[in-house]
Structure 1
Amino acid sequence: MVLNSGSLNRRIQIQRATQTPDGYGGFDNEWNDFGPAIFARRRDVSDAERLSAGAWDNKLVTRFIIRATAFGRSIARYDRLVHEGVTFEIDGIKEVPDNRGFLEITAQTDDIA
């Protein structure tokens, strides 16, 4: 897999929650855009890969590659991302092994159209 700026051909938006009291002793999450929309590369995890990992369910698991900027490194597992109107919950973030210039975000959604 060759990574360069040209392979980042999708736009994603990171969202972060703000907790507000709900009046019953709990909190409601209000999701807001966090930072600008950023370019990413998208690759959906294959069914065979999910099955071999023993993680078979009704969710779409996707890996997004982004540049490892200061903003990219501030993204956390408690954030979420939106791509083409679909919201993904972030499972993990790691450096791409062969190039420290990129980060891989693994995310999943059950909003499969």
Structure 2
Amino acid sequence: MTAAGDLDRRIVIERSIVVGHDEYNYPIYDWQPLATVSASRSDVSDTERAAYGTIVSELVSRFVIRAGGLQSSVRPTDRLAYDGRTWNIMGVKETKAGRNRFLEITAKTGG
């Protein structure tokens, strides 16, 4: 079970928003911070493989955050910034700790 003391890291949830339009009136997108929150992290898997003449590595982790506020709207189209890396969100779900208490975000980096 997750407790508040387990949330020992700071992550930034980022969302892609329209910041303007180009000369053909196509939208220009940029990543903007949605929320900076405390989280816990546990690594799920790591892989390395050869691709296109180079070694590619990926790390999949689960981040647990408190539900509520802006961070409760996090979705797979958002991303995380943590530890100098960009993490692509693969899924978001409630934890077993109870309804609307904590969210579990599965994300990967690398690749």
Q: For this structure pair, what is the TM-score category when the shorter chain's length is used for normalisation?
A: 0.7 to 0.9
| Pair 1:7 & 2:11 matched | no
- Kindly indicate which of the two structures has a greater share of residues assigned to helix: 1
Go from structure 1 to structure 2 and tell me whether the alpha carbon gap of 1:66 and 1:22 turns closer, same or farther (over 3 Å shift).
same
Structure-2 residue corresponding to 1:95: 94
1:1-113 aligned within 5 A: 2-19=1-18, 20-23=20-23, 26-35=26-35, 37-47=36-46, 58-100=57-99, 101-110=101-110
RMSD (Å), alpha carbons = 2.2
Q: Partner amino acid for 1:91?
A: M
Using the aligned pairs only, state the percent identity: 41
Which string of whole-angstrom CA distances, capped at 9 and with x for unpartnered residues, describes residues 43-88 of structure 1?
Answer: 111359xxxxxxxx73211100001113222112111110111110
CA–CA separation in structure 2 for the residues paired with 1:22 and 1:109:
30
CA–CA separation in structure 1 for the residues paired with 2:110 and 2:28:
21
- Kindly indicate which of the two structures has a greater share of residues assigned to strand: 2
Go from structure 1 to structure 2 and tell me whether the alpha carbon gap of 1:30 and 1:47 turns closer, same or farther (over 3 Å shift).
closer
Contact 1:65 1:105 in 2 (8 A): yes
User: Which runs of 5 or more structure 1 residues have no equivalent in the other structure?
Assistant: 49-56
Contact 2:58 2:109 in 1 (8 A): yes
Go from structure 1 to structure 2 and tell me whether the alpha carbon gap of 1:58 and 1:24 turns closer, same or farther (over 3 Å shift).
farther
Q: Paired residues, what number?
A: 101
Contact 2:9 2:40 in 1 (8 A): yes
| Structure with greater Cα Rg | 2
Contact 2:45 2:59 in 1 (8 A): no
Q: Partner amino acid for 2:79?
A: R
- Using the size of structure 2 for normalisation, the TM-score is 0.77
Contact 1:79 1:89 in 2 (8 A): yes
- Using the size of structure 1 for normalisation, the TM-score is 0.76
Shift of 1:26: 4.7
Go from structure 1 to structure 2 and tell me whether the alpha carbon gap of 1:99 and 1:8 turns closer, same or farther (over 3 Å shift).
same
Shift of 1:29: 2.5
User: Which runs of 5 or more structure 2 residues have no equivalent in the other structure?
Assistant: 48-55
